[in-house]
Amino acid sequence: MIEESSLIDFGAEKRFYAKEEYIFKQDQPALFYFQIASGEVKMNNYQPDGKEFIQAIFSAPRSFGEPPLFADIVYPANAIAIKNSLIWRLPKSAFYELLRQKPDTHLRVSQAIAKRLHYKALMAAELAQQSPENRILKILDYLKQEVNNITTPFGYKTDLTRQNIADLTGLRVETVIRTLKELEQKNEVKIINRKVYR
Amino acid sequence: MIEESSLIDFGAEKRFYAKEEYIFKQDQPALFYFQIASGEVKMNNYQPDGKEFIQAIFSAPRSFGEPPLFADIVYPANAIAIKNSLIWRLPKSAFYELLRQKPDTHLRVSQAIAKRLHYKALMAAELAQQSPENRILKILDYLKQEVNNITTPFGYKTDLTRQNIADLTGLRVETVIRTLKELEQKNEVKIINRKVYR
DNA sequence: ACTAATTTATGACTGTAATCATAAGTGTTT
DNA sequence: AAACACTTATGATTACAGTCATAAATTAGT
């Protein structure tokens, strides 16, 4: 995450993206550094059969889509606003110049990427293993601890729908619904009028 | 990947790791930057049921285990030498000093992490989806194109065993064996005396 | 050269998540 | 208030990867 003052200094513009609007698409090369000022963004893939896989959900003040700025690769997923959002957009060349002039910022960007890689590695191991219970708990715990910094038991109320959880874990809605009920039996989650607490 | 001259300048030591030896373990904090001089290293997790999941396999001159050097996180997986290996080991503080003094190197390290994240994102989408065929082809194509830079059809002969592929994809050996045979039928891979070509 | 260990292979059976069908509850829009 | 879309829910059935058992082929170790 880069300070707004720096973003402005280096010529970033704050753009509005309507809900459902694409910010970039899979397989495109990267032209900008993006950072959320307000709103929410998801990164996803659509599988051959049309099923969605959500790579991540980001909110302010997080940046996203940096990897292809660094390496000679294309976006591995789409980025789509899931709420009306304001997003800083800094051209690639200016981003490089900013990194060059501000080593601390470069370090923070590296940190952000490192954390994302860490999460992906954990999720990959979880996804490879089959158990729906573990997949779901991993996602919930990640959002609870890493994103929302909550430690109290059942202190995290997710605003993900069952379908969202399915798309994040690669499961089906019905499986998520059934597994969540089993997890409630086992006292791993609480469900209070349909809302999931962890 | 950092030039050996720089590594030496900043006090790195080249250590020998015997086959099967641990270089670091999951959940430990990072103390060193590692770079392979010779040999081969795998990063893996062991699931509760004892099943192995291989996060990645690295060979010279690649570095590994950088993310926890940057962010306040622990290793998400073990690193184990799978051949007798010589590995550069640079203390964390010296690594930071090196990055500070050599911005180009910092950029290259960022690039390496970015690429790894890219791969993880692709694999996560593939793992979430169930099809064994796609999981296996994704791994083979990744190794073929990204690691070995081969483009000719069936020009890549993998040295992974069926079990390796199983551990990389989260499948079972039997499933890998059967799926590879189906893939051969479909002319997606060639199998010449048990070796897999892609 | 011989033994042991690993890798590849195949068949039979099982368990579980996906799939399909249907519906009730909740929220949003006009 | 009605219409519509979305979300949650449940039951029945199916498909398919996992599991278990066993063995042949290959490689590594002494």
pLDDT at A32 over 80: yes
Of B73, B76, B114, the CB nearest to A113: B114
Tokens of A93: 């060349």
Instruction: Note if the bond before A76 is cis, omega within 30 degrees.
Output: no
Counting every residue, how long is chain A?
A: 198
Give whole-number Cα distances, A143 to A120, A139, A149, in Å. 13, 6, 8
Tell me: pLDDT of B72 over 80.
yes
pLDDT digits (tens, 9 = 90+) for A44-75: 998 877 788 989 888 889 999 999 999 989 99
CB-nearest to B55 from A51, A55, A121 is A121
Distance in Å from D6's C1' to A83's CA comes to 17
Give the distance from residue A37's alpha carbon to the nearest chain B alpha carbon, in angstroms: 23
B83 touches strand D (CB under 7 A): no
The predicted structure's pLDDT at residue B162: 95
* The predicted structure's pLDDT at residue B82: 86
pLDDT in the model for residue B20? 86
Residue B83: predicted pLDDT: 84
Closest CA to B172 of B137, B143, B132, B138: B132
Chain B residue with minimum CA distance to A45: B125
Cross-chain residue pair A55–B123, CB shorter than 8 Å: no
pLDDT per position as a tens digit, B152-196: 999 999 989 999 999 999 999 999 999 999 999 999 999 998 999
Average pLDDT, chain B: 92
Contact A173, A162 (CB under 8 A): yes
pLDDT band per the 50, 70, 90 thresholds, residue B65: very high
Give tens-digit pLDDT for A162-194: 999 999 999 999 999 999 999 999 999 999 989
pLDDT at residue B117 greater than cutoff 90: yes
Chain mean position to CA A37: 15
Q: Compute the average pLDDT of residues B25-50.
A: 91
CB neighbours of residue A194 within 10 Å: 7
Predicted pLDDT of residue A173: 95
What span, in angstroms and rounded, lies between the C-alpha atoms of A147 and A142?
Answer: 7
Sort out which chain B residues have CB atoms less than 8 A from A109's CB and list them: 110
Angstrom distance (rounded) from CA B43 to CA B69:
16
**Is pLDDT of B130 > 80?**
no
pLDDT at A111: 92
What is the predicted pLDDT for the residue at A196? 95
**Which percentage of chain B shows pLDDT scores above 90?**
75
**Residue scoring higher pLDDT (A129 or A137):** A137
A145 Cβ contacts chain D strand, under 7 Å: no
Best B51, B66, B70, B100 member to test A by mutation, with max A CBs in 10 Å, is B70
Residues 6+ apart with CB under 8 A from A159: none
Asked whether residue A11 carries a pLDDT value surpassing 80, the answer given is yes
Angle at B121 between CA B116 and CA B123, to 5 degrees: 95
Cβ pair A36, A65 in contact under 8 A: no
Residue nearest D25 (alpha carbon to C1'): B194
Q: Cα–Cα distances in Å, from B193 out to B81, B139, B197?
A: 28, 21, 10
User: Of A80, A97, A100, which Cα lies nearest the Cα of A34?
Assistant: A80
Amino acid at B91: P
Provide the pLDDT for residue A121: 92
B198 compared with B147, residue with greater pLDDT:
B198
Tell me the C-alpha distance between A91 and A89, whole Å. 7
Instruction: Output the pLDDT for position A191.
Output: 94
Subunit contact A45:B106, Cβ cutoff 8 A:
no
pLDDT of residue A93 exceeding 90: yes
For the CA of B163 and the C1' of D27, the distance in angstroms is 15
Contact between chains at A113 and B110 (C-beta distance less than 8 A): yes
Determine the Cα–Cα distance for residues B32 and B89; give it in Å rounded to an integer.
Answer: 6
Return the structure tokens found at A75.
Answer: 């976006």
pLDDT value, residue A98: 95
Residue ranges of alpha helices (H) inside chain A are: 4-9, 67-70, 92-101, 103-128, 132-141, 162-169, 173-185
Chain B neighbors of A47, CB-CB under 8 A: 125, 129
Instruction: Name residues whose C-beta falls within 8 Å of residue A26's C-beta, 6 or more positions apart in sequence.
Output: A45, A74, A75, A76, A77, A78
Residue A130 predicted with pLDDT over 80: no
- Model pLDDT, residue A49: 78
- Note the pLDDT of residue B152: 94
Residues of A with Cβ-Cβ distance to B120 under 8 angstroms: 117, 120-121, 124
Would you place residue A82 in the very low, low, confident or very high pLDDT band (cuts 50, 70, 90)?
Answer: confident
Which nucleotides of strand C lie within 7 A of protein CB? 6-12, 16-21, 26
Mean pLDDT estimate for chain A: 92
- Whether residue A19 has pLDDT greater than 90: no
Compute how many other C-beta atoms are within 10 angstroms of the C-beta atom of residue B105. 17
